[in-house]
Amino acid sequence: MMFPTPMPSESRIRTSSPSEGERAGRHAMESTRVHETYCSQSGVMMDENFPTQKASYSPTPFSLQHFGAYKIESPVRAAECTTIPSSEICSSPASQSPVLGSHGSEVELASQSHASGRESQLGSSPQEMYEHLWVGSPPLTAIPEERAEDAANEPLLNPSSADVSKVSTVNYEASVPGDWSTPAAMIHPIPSDGPLSNPTTLPIPLPLQEAVGVTSTDPNASPLESFQNSPGAGDNDDSSSVVSVNEGASTFSDGDYYSDNSSYTASLLSDVKNYSYENGRRYHSYREGHYVLPNDDQEQDRQDLLHHVRNLVLSGALYRAPLGPDIQRALDIGTGTGIWAIDFADSHPSAEVTGTDLSPIQPSWVPPNLRFLVDDAESPWLFNAHRPFDFIHARDLGGAIADWPHLLQQAFTHLRGGGWIELQEFEVTLKSDDESLRRAPVLCEFLGRLHQASEEFHRPMNIAEGHRQRLIEAGFEEVRDEVFKVPSSSWPDDPIQKQIGRYNLCSLLMAVESYSLALFTRVLGWSNTQTQVFLAGVRRDLKNPRSPYLLQSSYCLRSEAELWSELGLRIRLPGGCFLTCLEPREPSWITLLLSSTSEALHGPKVVINMAIGMYKALAISSPQVLTMLFCTTYEVLFWIESAVALTLLWLLLDAIYQLYWSSLHQFPGPKLWAVSRVPLQLSVLRGYNHLDMTALHEKYGPVIRISPYELAFNTPGAFQDIYRARPGGCFLKDRTHYLPPANGTDHLVCAVDHSVHARQRKLLAHAFSDRALREQEGLVQGYVDTLVTKLHGEIEKTGSEASVDIKQWMNYTTFDITGDLMFGESFDCLKDSQLHPWIQLIFKSMKALSFAGVVHQFPLLRYLSNFLIPKEVTHKAKQHFDITAEKVDRRLEARVTRPDFISALLQNGVREGSKGPYTDGEKTLSRAEIHSNAFILIIAGSETSATLLSGCIYYLCTHLQVMHRLVSEIRRSFLKEEDINFRDVAALPYLAAVIEESLRMYPPFVTSLARVVPSGGSMIDGHFVPGNTIVSCHHYASYRSPTNFSSPNDFIPDRWLGQNARFTGDRKEVLQPFSLGPRNCLGKRLAYSEIRLILCKLFYHFDVTLSPESINWTQQKVHFLWDKPALMVRLRSRFAANEKQRA
């Protein structure tokens, strides 16, 4: 999208045939203006509609400062100034565009440059001043003290030719004469509710009035429009030529002061917008001639189009740097139209974002945390070094920067330790995987001439490949160079690449003129006509569909692995297969380098592509290359072999220690598991950890060592010792066994701190109390009745019997219930007879969560998790959390009075804010805490209940005698459906036994909950366990252990009735599917009530039989939860046709 900026209405004074004296006067003022820009680079900020000026000290021989919201306290005195007639203000000999000038009552000041403590006289040589201004002089030093006269007490400006005129501050109602002197006046802010009581008029040299177009000094002149303050950010200590184009109130407050109205600021706006026009294109006026790209609407369209191309290439990402969520300040150098800065500010609303450019072409409507400054990045930066940036971004600066080391050194100085700088550049060259470039001779000539002209201009275009070395030399660490192939037309077969090519072609067709017109006409001396004819041939080659050119875009970040050799060869490992010769010892190195780079392709087969490139290079190179390559390869292999050998030696010594000297060496278990945690995590990844743990306990006993620092138990005593409350406090959770919450705020499951858990549990307990359960019964009844109705509908579709996936229908019901209780709205699964897309996302994420949990166990993999875990997985997890937060927020705002989880929480209100200190007596949860817990509750309250119901139905269908007994109990106890309720279903003994046995045979939570033994060690089931050991009880392995249950693999509900002596030896207290102690499941009562009600109504209405395809349904893997296939059953209504209609 374009953000058009209206053309400025100001006119500028132009004269012809300047004399030598006139040029001298003009050059003196222009040179001092450059000096002032150097001394105060980024303070004054200007909007095209709302100009403002910073009120601060400026070390200039004379200055005019208007402070609409400040007062001047120190006395000042008049100084004489040299008169220069307005006719002597001439245009620049370099660009034939005027240097100074404005319109109306706008005023621009020129400060006089000083060198070696002496003043620069206005009568200096014109040639000397010309070189200082247009060729470029060394940085000028700041004036140590501002004075109106030199060491001989003589005025700095010649008094014999001086006229002094007074210009009133335009926003004052009266003009009170005031003296003018140095040092500068002290500036103090005045409260916004009180006017300035003593406005001051300051004198300004008459020739400057004439030069800049001041036409009236009437103190009653109409005031300028009142301007709003622009953000300051506390970056500068001096006034500056920087211009802000933001509207609205300031969002950056650092103690910087800006005047509401300033003629000086208005003059700067007029000057920077008095653009230069050349060959039909518009160019910057600020730093005129230093930048060859135009800034007109056509160029702005091209920049926005190129921004879209980058978005497509990077899959919508704005940057590649691994920025954290706590970024505070960001800088965008060369922001152009500001589109990147706007998108970045929108995506990081808590960060202060600054964009700099040579022209105020950015839009006025921008995010409140964004400001734009007119600034030259090559000038000294005056941002506050005590407030460094977290992220510095720059792109497409090829042809704009003359001194890259200086720029990067300034960036290094102003970047926070641990911060990131990212340079995005397109290589100004075209490449192809075949011989396509040979069919584009005009295009190849164009690129050569473009490089030649930019080198002669001392601002080279093709700088992308050198960024990496520049960053290293500037002191940056962990530099990465990522390269992307970008098609230049729509030739690729891949639809995404084809789309990128279409947009990129449009951008290239516009870019050939933008990049070359000024360079060819100014540097190469071509005419406009000659250039346009040449560019027509260039565009013809670009549009040739038979020429699939490729553009490479380099992103210089921080972090890359390298292999170095004394011969000067650097092999970049990640992101591609490039060879870079640091210091070529022989010409053959260059041949090897160029051939390998051009022939090797990017992609997953990096090693193969590198080998192909090396082979082709050797085929055309001298024998010396083979020798050098062998030496380099030998060195690399030597160091690799050494590293591998040392690693293997360390692993061997550690294994010996773990087996014979570790504090856990006396506990039994497989040897390989005792020396490494890899076997355990592989077992988890395979999905068979529940079976492996059961087998290990049967082989090694009730306590086994399953990793170098972890023990597993399966006894009732261990459950009590590990999870119950202790006098000295419970065992803490092990953070490595729990994934961090998506929003960084701990929830009930992952909270390690007991005080955090206890506080949240106390507040959440209201939603699961007996009273809440009674209030929620009607809602649960409604959804269970809907389930029955829908199942009757399935039977009616086929006649007397229906085959359904009962697992899915259990999911529909439990997710609808939990969604309504959690968010105040159903997922409509029962209504639509299908899972909500969000719930499908949850099930698809389970395997990814299991993988993420394994990665989280290893410190190195945890550090590399951003690279190991596919982006699609992290995107889905974030999407899941975002949907949860959105639904919670909508429910919180709805203020529904009906009973549900949120209404119970709202009894004490909601504490706004994501985090923050709290007290033990805090009676509210923060919004972030509700988001985080809702993320867990939606799974814990839905999937686990559906899992148990599915397992129970399966075991009932495979044990017909048990099912007939249960059906008989249900139908005998309830003569009418209306009699089935929470209270009465809880009184059915055999139903309770069936549910307990189902929990034992098919527990919804299969694995274990890890805890950490206190540092002093502790006794667990008669075993002393050293401190800091990870301990747990595996649910499935404990419930299937023959030491705990007789016939552990048989489904026998009678064992829970206490009527059969065969089961008197069963250790039933080991069954803890909802855990125990202070961290047991809050929703246990609701889950039991829901499960009893669904089973009763299901078997009250239907006869259920198992379909043959689901006979082996329990042969499942476990990835965090059971990987449940479809559970197909046949349903038949127990009622006659007329009764079925009534039901």
Q: State the average pLDDT for the chain.
A: 71
Contacts of 833 (CB under 8 A, 6+ apart): 790, 812
Q: Using CA atoms, how far apart are residues 562 and 636, in angstroms rounded to an integer? A: 11
Q: Using CA atoms, how far apart are residues 282 and 243, in angstroms rounded to an integer? A: 19
pLDDT at 790: 94
pLDDT at 1051: 96
| Residue 149 phi, psi (nearest 5) | -140, 165
CATH topology classification for 297-560: Rossmann fold (3.40.50)
Residue 1112, Cβ density class (10 Å: 0-12 exposed, 13-18 middle, ≥19 buried): exposed
pLDDT at 101: 33
**SS3 at position 373:** strand
Summarised one tens digit per residue, pLDDT across range 981-1026 is 999 999 999 999 999 999 999 999 898 889 999 988 999 999 999 9
Task: Show the DSSP H helices in 569-677 as ranges.
Answer: 587-599, 606-619, 623-660, 671-675
Summarised one tens digit per residue, pLDDT across range 162-204 is 333 333 333 333 333 333 333 333 333 333 333 333 333 333 3
Contacts of 652 (CB under 8 A, 6+ apart): none
Residue pair 157/81 in contact by the 8 Å Cβ criterion: yes
Residue pair 58/238 in contact by the 8 Å Cβ criterion: yes
List, as one string, the DSSP characters of 310-370. Answer: HHHHTTT-S--S---TT--EEEEET-TTSHHHHHHHHH-TTSEEEEEESS--S-S---TTE
For the chain, residues with pLDDT lower than 70 are 1-270, 433-437, 545-635, 728-729, 846-848, 862-877, 895-899, 904-923, 1136-1143
Reference 328, options 413, 233, 246, 423; nearest CA is 233
Residue pair 708/676 in contact by the 8 Å Cβ criterion: yes
Q: Is 1081 annotated as a binding residue?
A: yes
pLDDT at 1121: 85
Amino acid making up residue 65 = Q
Reference 417, options 372, 443, 440, 386; nearest CA is 386
What is the separation, in whole angstroms, between the first and last Cα of the chain? 60
pLDDT at 823: 82
Amino acid making up residue 66 = H
Q: How far is CA 182 from CA 179, 628, 991, in A?
A: 10, 69, 95
Containing 910, the helix (H) or strand (E) segment is strand 910-911
Residue pair 162/83 in contact by the 8 Å Cβ criterion: yes
Question: What does the domain layout of the chain look like in residue ranges?
Answer: 19-273, 297-560, 563-661, 767-787+805-940
Residue pair 515/292 in contact by the 8 Å Cβ criterion: yes
Amino acid making up residue 596 = S
pTM here is 0.48
List, as one string, the DSSP characters of 1030-1078. Answer: EEEE-HHHHHT-TTTSSSTTS--GGGGTT--GGGTT--GGG--TT--GG
Containing 860, the helix (H) or strand (E) segment is helix 859-863
| Side-by-side strand order, sheet with 1102-1106 | 802-805, 1128-1133, 1102-1106
